[in-house]
Structure 1
Amino acid sequence: MQAVKTKQRAIAEAESELIRLVRQTESVSRVELARQLSLAPSTVGLYVDRLVGEGFLQEGRKATSSSGRPPTILELNPEAGHFIGVDFEASQIAITSVDFSQQVLQQEVVRILASDSAARVVEKIEAGIRSINHGSRLLGIGVGVPGVVDHQLGEAVHYQHIAGWQHIPLVEHFTQLFDVPVYIENNIRAMALAEQWFGSARGVSDFVCLGIRSGIGAGVVIDGRLHTGRNGLAGEIGNWPCERPEKGARELVPLERIASVRAILDQLAKRITGGAKTTLTLKRNRVDLEDMVAAAENHEPLTLEVLESAAGVVGRVIAQISLLLNPEKVIVAGPLAKLTDAFLEPIRQVVYPLSNTKHARAPQIVASEFGMHGGALGAAALAVHQWKPSR
Structure 2
Amino acid sequence: MKSFRYHQPTEIIFGTGKVQDAGEIVKKYGDRCLVVTTPAIEATKPMYDRVIQILKDAGVAVAHYDQVIPNPTTEVSAAGAKLALEHKADVILGLGGGSSMDAAKAIAVEASHEGSAWDYLFYKKQPTKKTLPVISVSTTSGTGSQVTQVSVITNTEERDKSALYHPLIFPAVCIVDPELMTTLPNFITAPTGFDVFCHAFESAIHPGRGAYIDLLAWEAIEHVVTYLPKVLEEPKSIEYREKMAWADTLAGLCIASAGVTLPHGMGMAIGGMYPHVAHGEALAIVYPACTRFTAISAPQEYGRMAKLMDSTLKDLSNEEAAKHAEEAIVKFLKKIGMYKKLSDVNMPENDIEALAQQCMVLPDYENNPKVATKNEMIELVKASY
When you count helix as a share of all residues, which structure comes out higher? 2
The interval holding the TM-score normalised by the smaller chain is: under 0.3
When you count strand as a share of all residues, which structure comes out higher? 1
TM-score (norm: length of structure 2): 0.28
Between 1 and 2, higher relative CO (CA 8 Å, sep ≥ 6) is seen in 1
Greater C-alpha Rg: 1
